[in-house]
Chain A
Amino acid sequence: MLPAMNALGLPGAPGAHRVVVAMSGGVDSSVAAGLLAEAGFDVVGITLQLYDHGSAVGKAGSCCAGADIHDARRVAAHLGIPHYVLDYESRFRDAVMDDFADSYLAGHTPIPCVRCNQTVKFADLLGTARDLGAAAMATGHYVRRIEGETGPELHRGAETGRDQSYFLFATTPPQLDLLRFPLGDMTKDAVREHARRMGLVVSDKPDSQDICFVPQGRYAEVVARMRPGAIQPGEIVDMEGRVLGRHEGIIHYTVGQRRGIGIAGEEPLFVVRLEPGTRRVVVGPREALASSSLTMREVNWIGACPAPGEAVDCAVKLRSAQPPIAARATVLADGRARVDLSAPAQAIAPGQACVMYAGERVLGGGWIERRDAAEAAAAA
């Protein structure tokens, strides 16, 4: 007879399993740690020191740790679980912050949280969890891991407005084997209720809105500090190449942006394209933003990987907050895929992710390389 499975789908009693919880100091991962500790697992909390908090907020000489690490430590002490802070500053800079700066300078709109999950958390930290003898690593993400016929599947979180599956598209099957998401079936309200019930100091802590190393959303300042002199002024041009004005650097713009162009026209102008080579910001009417196909790269399939040339019908999300659009993805060589949308989408931004879904399930995704502009014009 097979041993009974516990709450994390591991055989036998919870106490027989060590589970590392990646604790950010926020309410979600704190509750994840608390619930697993209550369930009797041998929980070990780990918080990553990702960047020097003092220098990020422009205050030199302060201790490296921010308030979030302090909160995580307080929660772990309250729960009575061991807790460690790991220095991931250099890894985070190499894998996430450098990519963030270079992407912006290349005219893309990066999502550093995906890179962080992909490299720092689900590669390096997961390795450390394995080193510590952990049977699983849990996070506070609002996604569901469901054991499917061919292995674990990644599904959207139960509360639609909280679903974070878009940010986890790059999770590989071996990573998903070890990962657990105890909050996937819950609502945020329920999580906060658990936090209050457990008496956690973070129960009323506001959700984080910003990218962790970009205080108050001032990403251009971060890039300027990381790449001195790389932000150069240039021209704002229309679709025919006529110069309409000047700008202080393409990194201040993202595709689809309307405000901040600073040019009065008869009809509203939007950023259509960023050209890093010529440092041009190309603007045009709303119609010029529409596009019905794109190419993505570094495509990750969670589960079976279709062969080149094969097409997969799915729904795609092109931004985290957008509803899914019906589409067909065709596998290309070199880990790329072409995605044809059932209806034109607005403002497809290179650097963002294109994540493929079959209903609730995440099939995989990739990084948007370019949209097909010619077709966009034809469609318009």
Chain B
Amino acid sequence: MTEPVYLDHNATAPLRDAARDAALEAMAATGNASSVHAAGRRARALIEDARARVGELAGVAPRNVVFTSGGTEANALALLGCGCPRLLVSGIEHPSVLAVRADAQVIPVDGDGVLDLAALEAMLAAEDTPALVSVMAANNETGVIQPLAEVVRLAHAHSALVHCDAVQGAGRMALDDLGADLMTLSGHKLGGLQGAGALALAAGRDIAAVQRGGGQELGRRAGTEPLPAIVSFGAAATQAQGDDMDTIAGLRDGLQQAMLAAVPGARVMGAAAPRLANTLAIAHPRLEAETLVMAFDLEGIALSAGSACSSGKVGPSHVLEAMGEGALARNTIRISLGAGTTGADTARCAEVWQALDVRLGVGRNAA
């Protein structure tokens, strides 16, 4: 059996060494960060160090970083705690944004998966109600980068606030100049432990707590902080800023080229738009993603399709549907690289893609 190949970094990234070391150190320490004693103060210091690191990644002051249990909770906190009666969300947002408020109005995207700015402007102009606009930094399925600076300019011109789910963008693109008022980050997508995320607030912005009780996080989010997860988040945030995205982009582009060449009729989703360097959403002309994901897994390659529900069932991708994709949406797999991905990994992926195309093509004809 060949070595397993992990190409699903957009689902979760392998734990970084620095994040593991920081987490192990935190696990060895006893202490509730809210306690008065020395142990509590040690825990507090570790959390504040992590807060500064995450603030640096997000481009906000440390005191404006609100730790949460993860990206989903940070999105819920932003949408529920912002105090905006009106909510506009793009049609390609993560379910943790789409499912929060039933009153959300959906901003369309174009065929490449880029937000329709004209539509956004018309929607903003249509009503005076104070609004929150939630648009992700980059899409989790296609990697397509959204025109956040333009979104912010339009929104602010209409006195609306902007929330940006930057879970996929963090560490892979600059976040500090996006200009969003609220920004969601996730520790484990960066190579930290699962169980910690953050909502970063721009200067002068605040949020009303959803989860209440103890006064943690300056009263913005109650609950004892998960120390190992938070310190590993901080360590990962720092290390991720040193990732060589050019190398990752080279590997992704090479893989994309090899896969397109191997299977005539294959198509890259969002190819004409600016994309994260690590993400490749590619549709096979005939084979369903459901089968491809299993077949790749049985060859030791981890990748994904659509958005998997917790049962493991793969549903149709709402992202590709929002982009107007029809039949090919069912055939689209997502390959996402990370800092540890090697040329051998991508070569193996291309090789299996070609082999499956041949084998499954034969099987279909024989059936």
- Chain A positions near chain B (C-beta within 8 angstroms): 18, 44, 49, 63-65, 69, 73, 82, 84-87, 127-128, 130-133
Q: Smallest CB–CB gap between A165 and chain B, Å?
A: 25
Knowing A130-B367, A131-B363, A132-B291 touch, does A44 contact B312 (C-beta < 8 A)? no
B residues 90-128 in Cβ contact with A at 8 Å? none
Contact at B291–A65, with CB atoms within 8 Å? no
B313 touches A65 (CB 8 A): yes
Q: Check A64–B309 contact: CB distance below 8 A.
A: yes
Are A132's CB and B309's CB within 8 A? Answer: no
The answer for the CA separation of A313 and B295 in the assembled complex, in Å, is: 46
Would you call B344 an interface residue if the criterion is a C-beta within 8 Å of the partner chain's C-beta atoms?
Answer: no
Residue from A18, A82, A127, A132 having most chain B Cβ neighbours under 10 A: A132
Question: Dominant SS at the A interface?
Answer: mixed
In the complex, A131→B290 CA distance in Å? Answer: 11
B360 and A131 within 8 A (CB): yes
Per the bound structure, the CA–CA distance linking A65 and B309 in Å amounts to: 9
On chain A, the residues within 8 Å of B310 by CB distance are 63, 65
How many residue pairs bridge A and B at CB < 8 Å?
Answer: 51
Q: Measured between C-beta atoms, what is the minimum distance from B352 to chain A in Å?
A: 12
Interface membership of B36, Cβ < 8 A: no
Q: How far is the CB of B115 from chain A (nearest CB, A)?
A: 29
A84 to B296, CA, bound (A): 12
Are A87 and B298 CB-contacts (below 8 A) given A49-B311, A127-B367, A130-B363? no
Select from chain A the residue with minimum beta-carbon distance to B297. Answer: A82
Complex CA–CA separation, A103 to B132 (angstroms)? 52
Q: Which residue of A lies closest to B290 (CB)?
A: A86
Smallest Cβ distance from B360 to chain A, in angstroms? 5
Cα–Cα, bound, A65→B310 (Å): 8
Most buried by B among A63, A69, A84, A130: A84
Contact between B311 and A63, CB atoms less than 8 A apart: yes
Residue from B297, B311, B363, B367 in contact with A69 in the complex, judged by beta carbons closer than 8 Å: B311
- The residues of B that contact A64 with a CB separation of less than 8 Å are 309, 311, 313
A65 to B363, CA, bound (A): 30
| B37 CB-CB contact with A under 8 Å | no
- CB interface residues, B 281-316, toward A, < 8 Å: 287, 290-291, 294-295, 297-298, 309-315
- Nearest CB of chain A from residue B280's CB, rounded to whole Å: 22
Chain B: interface size category? 10 to 19
**Nearest Cβ in chain B — how far from A317, in angstroms?**
31
Q: Which residues of B sit under 8 angstroms from A128, Cβ to Cβ?
A: 291, 294
Shortest Cβ distance from A84 into B: residue: B294
B313 touches A131 (CB 8 A): no
Q: Within 8 Å CB of B297, what residues of A?
A: 82, 84
Complex-state Cα separation, A64 to B314, whole angstroms = 11
CA distance A133 to B355 in the complex (A): 12
Q: How far is the CA of A131 from the CA of B296 in the complex (A)?
A: 12
C-alpha gap A82/B299 in the complex (Å) = 11
Top 6 closest pairs, chain A to chain B, by CB: A65-B311, A85-B312, A87-B313, A49-B313, A131-B291, A130-B363
Which residues on B sit within 8 Å (CB–CB) of A18? 298
CB-nearest residue of chain B to A128: B291
- Please state if B295 and A132 are interface contacts (CB–CB under 8 Å): yes
- Report Cα–Cα, A63/B287, bound state, in Å: 27
CA distance A127 to B287 in the complex (A): 12
30 A-B pairs within 8 Å (CB atoms) are namely A44-B294, A44-B298, A63-B309, A63-B310, A64-B309, A64-B311, A65-B310, A65-B313, A69-B311, A73-B312, A82-B297, A82-B298, A84-B297, A85-B311, A85-B312, A85-B313, A86-B313, A87-B314, A128-B291, A128-B294, A130-B367, A131-B287, A131-B291, A131-B360, A131-B364, A132-B291, A132-B294, A132-B295, A132-B298, A133-B295
- Closest beta carbon of chain B to A345's beta carbon, Å: 39
Which residues from chain A contact B312 at a C-beta distance below 8 Å?
Answer: 65, 73, 84-85
Query: Chain A: which residue is nearest B291 at the CB level?
Result: A131
Task: Kindly provide the distance from the CB of B74 to the nearest chain A CB, expressed in whole angstroms.
Answer: 22
**What is the minimal beta-carbon distance from B287 to any residue of chain A, in angstroms?**
8
Q: In the complex, which residues of chain B have a beta carbon less than 8 angstroms from the beta carbon of A82?
A: 294, 297-298
Q: How far is the CB of B147 from chain A (nearest CB, A)?
A: 34
**Complex interface: chain B residues within 8 A of A127 (CB):** 367
* CB-nearest residue of chain A to B366: A130
In the complex, what distance in Å separates the CA atom of A73 from the CA atom of B312? Answer: 10
Residues from chain B with Cβ under 8 Å of A87 in the complex: 290, 313-315
Q: Give min CB distance, B333 to chain A, whole Å.
A: 14
Q: How many Å lie between the Cα of A18 and that of B295 in the bound state? A: 12
Considering the complex, give the chain B residue whose CB is closest to the CB of A126.
B367
A131 touches B295 (CB 8 A): yes
Closest to A69 in B: B311
By a CB distance below 8 angstroms, the chain A residues around B290 are 86-87
Q: How many angstroms between the C-alpha atoms of A18 and B314 in the bound complex? A: 23
